[in-house]
Amino acid sequence: MFTYREMTLKDVRALAKLEKDNFPHPWSEESLRKEVDKEESLFIVAVENDNMNNEFVAGYAGMYIIGEEGDITNVVTNSLYRGRGIGNGLMDYIVSKSQEIGIKSITLEVRVSNKAAIHLYEAHGFINEGIRPGFYDNPKEDAIIMWNYLPQKNIL
């Protein structure tokens, strides 16, 4: 059973390790620490608890908040937990929380070769809005720009 919650300082070391294990240009502990409790960002952690009430980080997602827009910066699942719905849970949380706080649209970039991530984002309402040529390094690759224009709640 996984729990989804906002990032705290106690998560930073594990998230920095996830970054290092999965990305050619990982975020540092210092960079992640700066995002804790910051109003302009939303970082979500997926954790699993064992029988001894120890938490294990299964994945996380980060998003900057710019006015009424969100910009997803990172989504990653620990390789030991892949295929168990962590990405879905993270995206559900971010989309739901975004609607709750008045975000009207969310954007992200994804490697054109990352078919699993593209499928995940499409399943959460994101659509392809264009290409950023040569956006990624190691290896050099284009990015798909995706947007989710969130449905707004009627206020009466």
Distance CA 140, CA 19 (A): 19
Do 75 and 117 form a contact (C-beta atoms < 8 A)? yes
Distance CA 156, CA 151 (A): 16
Predicted local confidence at residue 54, as pLDDT: 78
- The answer for 11, left when phi > 0, alpha when psi is -120 to 50, beta otherwise, is alpha
What domains, with CATH codes, occur in the chain? 2-149 (3.40.630.30)
Predicted local confidence at residue 156, as pLDDT: 56
Distance CA 96, CA 52 (A): 30
Residue with tokens 């960002």: 41
Edge-first strand order for the sheet with 41-49 is 2-6, 41-49, 55-66, 69-77, 105-111, 141-149, 127-136
Predicted local confidence at residue 155, as pLDDT: 55
Predicted local confidence at residue 152, as pLDDT: 72
Predicted local confidence at residue 153, as pLDDT: 64
Predicted local confidence at residue 154, as pLDDT: 60
Full pLDDT tens readout for the chain, 156 residues? 899 999 999 999 999 999 999 998 999 999 999 999 899 999 999 999 877 677 899 999 999 999 999 999 999 999 999 999 999 999 999 999 999 999 999 999 999 999 999 999 999 999 999 999 999 998 999 999 999 999 876 655
